[in-house]
């Protein structure tokens, strides 16, 4: 059965190279991918304490994934939001309420697994024949992928990818890139991002989230590389 690939808004609109490299690496692993016929935001733009609509939006995508092996995500924020929705929908009353809304769209949520591509790939790195990368990278962990109670990723997943590809790994701490602050304090977010780039000492930031890449690269002009790009390059030697 195929996995449904969910890029997320930021990746879909700003980082096609991330999605493309993820598809190529997954194909190399023999993973069958299904396409989203209708894409909607994961609902992270909604504040759950203000509106219940976030759950309806998230459940729509999860309902589509119900018909497949599961949902493969590329964004840390999307992963956390969709996993929170899965947890909320374990409540029978909440699931019934949401399914009444989804019925108008011709879909039904019956359960779904949400897996970030980094988690998926970490368990399968040994299946790939990787050649030495010449890149010099510093890890930028996606904060939302490691939320307590919602995380499946090991904290050293990106480091393991770097080591497997032969890239030179620069120690740069383990703080947030700053994008999580953007909606409440833009200057604080940018200061945090600048500090992360300084800590990288000129190395490319190895990222697994569109939000990290957007702040560090698009807003601050830093050099970033997605982990799937690193793996794809190591595959091609």
pLDDT > 70 in the chain, percent = 96
Q: Which of 57-61, 178-182, 185-189, 227-231 is the least confident region? A: 178-182
Q: What is the pLDDT of residue 123?
A: 85
* Tokens read off for 85: 């929705």
Hey, is 43 helix, strand or coil? coil
Q: Does residue 74 contact residue 36 with C-beta atoms inside 8 Å?
A: no
Pick the closest to residue 163 from 197, 190, 139 (CA basis).
139
Q: What is the pLDDT of residue 177?
A: 93
Q: Once rounded to an integer, what is the mean pLDDT over residues 75-87? A: 92
Domains and CATH numbers, the chain: 3-118 (1.20.1050.140), 128-236 (3.40.50)
Q: Once rounded to an integer, what is the mean pLDDT over residues 158-173? A: 94
**Average pLDDT over the chain, rounded to whole?**
91
Return d(Cα 40, Cα 90) in angstroms, integer: 22
Query: 138: which strand partners?
Result: 170, 205
Q: Once rounded to an integer, what is the mean pLDDT over residues 150-163? A: 85
Return d(Cα 160, Cα 176) in angstroms, integer: 19
**How big is the chain by its Cα radius of gyration, in Å?**
18
Q: Once rounded to an integer, what is the mean pLDDT over residues 126-138? A: 91
Q: What is the pLDDT of residue 146?
A: 81
Model confidence at 183, pLDDT cuts 50, 70, 90, reads confident
C-alpha pair distances (Å), 32 with each of 27, 138, 236? 7, 31, 21
Q: What is the pLDDT of residue 157?
A: 92
Q: What is the pLDDT of residue 196?
A: 97
Pick the closest to residue 227 from 132, 153, 117 (CA basis).
117
> Model's pTM, two decimal places?
0.92
């Amino acid at each position: 059965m195929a996995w449904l690939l969910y890029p997320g808004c930021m990746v879909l609109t700003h980082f096609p190279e991330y999605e493309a490299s993820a598809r190529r690496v997954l194909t190399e692993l023999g993973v069958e991918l299904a396409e989203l016929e209708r894409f909607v935001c994961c609902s992270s733009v909604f504040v759950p304490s203000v509106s219940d609509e976030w759950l309806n939006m998230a459940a729509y995508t999860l309902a589509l994934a119900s018909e497949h092996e599961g949902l493969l995500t590329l964004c840390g924020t999307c992963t956390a939001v969709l996993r929170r929705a899965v947890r909320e929908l374990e409540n029978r009353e909440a699931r019934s309420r949401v399914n009444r809304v989804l019925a108008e769209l011709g879909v039904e949520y019956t359960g779904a697994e949400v897996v970030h591509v980094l988690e998926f790939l970490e368990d399968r790195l040994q299946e790939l024949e990787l050649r030495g990368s010449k890149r010099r990278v510093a890890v930028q962990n996606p904060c939302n992928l490691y939320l307590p109670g919602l995380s499946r990723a090991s904290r050293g997943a990106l480091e393991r990818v770097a080591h497997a590809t032969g890239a030179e790994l620069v120690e740069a701490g383990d703080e947030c890139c700053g994008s999580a602050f953007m909606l409440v304090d833009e200057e604080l977010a940018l200061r945090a991002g600048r500090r992360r780039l300084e800590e990288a000492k000129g190395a490319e930031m190895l990222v697994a989230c569109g939000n990290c890449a957007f702040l560090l690269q698009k807003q601050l002009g830093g050099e970033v590389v997605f982990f799937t790009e690193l793996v794809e390059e190591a595959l091609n030697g």
